[in-house]
Amino acid sequence: MLSFLPIEIKKKLNQEYLNRITVFLMAIILSGVLLLIMSFIPTAIYSKYKNRTVDAQLGLVKSTQTTDEKETSLIVTKLNGLADVLSRDSDQISSIGLVDKILSLKNSNISLVSLSILEGEKGLRKITVSGISRSRDDLTRFNKNLISDGSFGDIDLPVSNLIKNSDLNFTMTMTHK
């Protein structure tokens, strides 16, 4: 095809064409970025509102929790005092002291699940201790500690509790005078 335009004008037209395409693409990109920013504004406002709401609720729960904990600890303290008064005998150790003694004789590899004390005749107390021991040696060491203490008699640890080597569930009974 025959062109009657001089080369300088052709170059100038090509340059103007590229400039128009560049401006058009930049306008599209800019409008896309603006649309993205506009779409994030409601989400940001909602998130800020939600954050304030959650903070307010958390503060309310914390204030309620601290008063509940104070009330609970006060009730536990009163009940412990009442239990001490009710369980005191002149020649017998209190039930709380008995529990403390058993807890001090166990080692860290034994977890006690339940402990019950039944008052019997002639001042004898029957104690049943249930728990989990990590190993057979820990359980036999606990049994020996109870025997060597001298406060407990008739300690019954069934052989069936010693069948497994680890994670032993046990129940032992003993008497305390």
Minimum mean pLDDT range among 8-17, 54-63, 158-167: 158-167
Residue with tokens 């058009």: 24
Round to whole Å and give the CA distance between 98 and 95: 5
pLDDT band at 90 (very low <50, low <70, confident <90, very high): very low
* pTM for this prediction: 0.47
Q: Which two structure tokens, joined as six digits, stand for 82?
A: 């009442």
| Residue 90 token pair | 């002149």
Averaged pLDDT for residues 70-85 = 76
Give the pLDDT of residue 91: 45
CB 102, CB 110: distance < 8 Å = no
- CATH class belonging to 95-176: alpha beta
